[in-house]
Every structure is written in structure tokens, then in C-alpha cells.
């Protein structure tokens, strides 16, 4: 029998860091530390064939036999924009996953410690509409779920919204919960949700990159400023294992082949260059640089950043 996932709340021991990309400042906003059995994400993984000393199979990427899959979002501040990329699991919401039910994490406190209030955020980008990327998009006002960021436009693509509100996603909604109803549809009802092209330029420094596969309208976020670059890959690289074996997709990928192709294209583009990759679920949401591994695949050189 597969062991159940585990959660460790974010606490004072969790580093709060910021990273500079030219004139842009990026701050991971972590919600909690999630630990999952390897086969929950990779059901066909033959654990007997894994090198126990491999870099991707040791801490901080694996603990006590569990994969490290931390959850939250990312704050991007440029001279004229305040953008949030993804929004965690959320608080006070009913979910099939018992570890996601009625959370009460101090996620907005972490946002405030980064120097931003909910009213400051002008744009929320969803890399995709999975349950653990949209949760804090809404808050309960005592009567209904309403946009948590009152001055923001929330961005997704038409194929993404169509998929998650359609019959094709019914089975996934059964296992993930009817989270679209409390975390996405209220945004549309409030006129805050915008369907955009997957290559939209948000500002001089920030644009979207098409990356369909993990989900039908999946996107990445590309930040370039003063000759420096960062890419927010969402779940295209869910775990470090997928850097060592970039053709391997997770059980949560809607199109596993398409996700594999998109991931390999992204890694070829950024490997061995001075580009910071911000995967959605790496330990402490820490970014790193992707380098070619002579043994095959890629490795990850984690970057520490500066204390808040």
C-alpha cells in the first residue's frame, strides 16, 4: 500500500529570500512543505533502478523516501508592476486531499513581509489551473468567494479554462476537487479573469511563454531585465528527477508526451546559460541554474539569494 503524503507547515526555519533579475525583484511566497511517495507522481517508476546516491534522490530533493514538493507562489516586482505567479492551495477550502482541507497558513503574512499588500498586486498569472496553483486567488468574505487581490487582473488562456470547466476534466476534478468553483469561477463572475494569448507581453520585462502539455493551456513566465533572465516553469519541472530524466512526465500531466516535449524544449533553451529557473515545487521554492550533466540529462545548481 502506498504511503500517504505528508505536510510540514512553513515555519521560522524556512528561509525567506529574494532574488534580483536586473531591475526586477523576485520573492518566493511559500505556503507549506509537501512530501509525497515517489509513485504518487511517477506510478511506473522502478525504484529498484534508481541510484540511491544520485543528486536528485538525496536531500533536499528527497526526505525519508518521500519526494520534496513544496507549494506556494512567486512575487515579481519591477519598477512599475507587481505580479504574482501562481497562488498555492489556499486556506479554508474543502478538498478531497485531507491535507489540503481548511488550511490556515500565514501565506498572506509572507506576502506582506515581502513588502506587498493584496491591493498592490496588479496581475496574477496562473501557469495552469491545477488546485495547488489557484487557491489563494479568492477569499471568503462571509457570504461568497471573491477575488483576494482586488486590483488585479487574473490571467489564464482559453484552452486552459475550457479544459478545466469541460467534460474532459471531470475525472481530474473528481480526484482534485471542484476547486474551479471556489477559486476560478468567482474571478470570472467578478470580471477579473482575463483569457490571454499564451505569448502575451505583460510589461517590458515580463512575458508569457506557450508550454502546453502538462495542461492544455499551460504557460511559463519569462522575466528579462538588464541582460538577466529568469523563467517560471510551473509544473513543467515538478521534481528534480525530471531534470535528470527530462523525458519523464508525472501522473498529473494531461498530455504526458506533450509535457515531455515542452519540458525538453525549455531545458535546451536555458541549459548552460545564466538563466534562473524557478520551478513551482522545488525545496523552499528555491531557483537554480540548469547545467548539462555529462552522465545524461541535466543537473540543478541551486541559488541562495538574499535574505528579506
Cell numbers standing for residue 122: 496588479
| Contact of 235 with 252, CB cutoff 8 Å | yes
DSSP state of 41: H
| Contact of 155 with 201, CB cutoff 8 Å | no
Cell numbers standing for residue 81: 508592476
Instruction: Outline where DSSP puts E strands in the chain.
Output: 6-9, 17-21, 24-36, 62-63, 66-68, 71-77, 82-85, 123-125, 138-140, 145-147, 153-156, 193-195, 206-210, 219-225, 228-234, 275-279, 288-292, 298-302, 306-307
DSSP state of 201: B
pLDDT at 139: 98
Q: What are the phi and psi torsion angles at 33 (to 5°)? A: -95, 120
User: Could you tell me which CATH number the domain at 6-307 has?
Assistant: 3.60.15.10
C-alpha–C-alpha distance, residues 46 and 52, integer Å? 12
pLDDT at 1: 47
| Cβ burial, residue 48 (10 Å; 0-12/13-18/19+) | exposed
Our measurement of the distance from residue 8's CA atom to the centroid of its chain's CA atoms, rounded to an integer in Å, reads 18
C-alpha–C-alpha distance, residues 231 and 27, integer Å? 13
Cell numbers standing for residue 296: 545524461
Three-state secondary structure readout of 160-191: HHHHHCCHHHHHHHHHHCCHHHHHCHHHHHCC
| Contact of 22 with 224, CB cutoff 8 Å | yes
pLDDT at 2: 66
Cell numbers standing for residue 5: 503524503
pLDDT at 255: 97
C-alpha–C-alpha distance, residues 229 and 215, integer Å? 24
Low-confidence ranges of the chain (pLDDT < 50): 1
What value does the mean pLDDT of the chain take?
96
Amino acid at each position: 500500500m502506498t504511503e500517504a503524503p505528508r505536510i510540514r507547515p512553513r515555519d521560522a526555519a524556512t528561509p525567506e529570500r529574494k532574488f534580483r533579475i536586473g531591475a526586477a525583484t523576485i520573492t518566493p511566497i511559500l505556503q507549506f512543505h509537501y512530501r509525497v511517495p515517489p509513485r504518487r507522481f511517477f506510478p511506473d517508476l522502478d525504484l529498484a533502478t534508481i541510484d540511491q546516491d544520485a543528486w536528485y534522490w538525496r536531500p533536499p530533493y528527497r526526505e525519508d523516501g518521500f519526494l520534496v514538493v513544496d507549494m506556494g507562489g512567486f512575487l515579481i516586482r519591477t519598477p512599475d508592476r507587481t505580479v504574482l505567479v501562481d497562488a498555492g492551495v489556499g486556506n479554508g477550502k474543502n478538498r478531497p486531499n485531507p491535507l489540503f482541507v481548511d488550511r490556515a497558513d500565514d501565506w498572506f503574512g509572507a506576502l506582506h513581509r515581502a513588502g506587498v499588500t493584496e491591493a498592490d498586486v496588479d496581475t496574477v498569472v496562473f501557469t495552469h489551473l491545477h488546485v495547488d496553483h489557484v487557491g489563494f486567488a479568492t477569499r471568503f468574505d462571509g457570504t461568497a468567494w471573491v477575488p483576494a487581490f482586488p486590483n488585479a487582473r487574473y490571467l489564464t488562456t482559453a484552452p486552459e479554462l475550457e479544459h478545466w470547466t469541460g467534460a474532459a476534466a471531470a475525472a481530474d476534478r473528481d480526484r482534485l476537487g471542484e476547486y474551479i468553483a471556489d477559486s476560478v469561477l468567482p474571478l470570472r463572475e467578478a470580471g477579473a479573469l482575463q483569457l490571454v494569448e499564451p505569448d502575451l507581453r505583460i510589461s517590458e520585462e515580463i512575458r508569457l511563454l506557450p508550454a502546453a502539455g502538462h495542461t492544455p493551456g499551460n504557460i511559463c513566465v519569462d522575466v528579462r531585465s538588464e541582460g538577466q533572465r529568469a523563467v517560471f516553469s510551473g509544473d513543467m519541472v515538478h521534481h528534480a528527477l525530471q531534470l535528470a530524466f527530462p523525458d519523464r512526465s508525472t501522473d498529473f500531466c494531461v498530455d504526458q508526451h506533450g509535457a515531455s516535449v515542452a519540458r525538453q524544449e525549455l531545458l535546451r533553451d536555458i541549459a548552460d546559460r545564466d538563466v534562473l529557473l524557478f520551478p513551482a515545487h522545488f525545496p523552499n521554492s528555491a531557483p537554480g541554474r540548469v547545467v548539462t550533466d555529462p552522465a545524461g540529462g541535466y543537473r540543478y545548481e541551486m541559488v541562495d539569494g538574499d535574505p528579506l
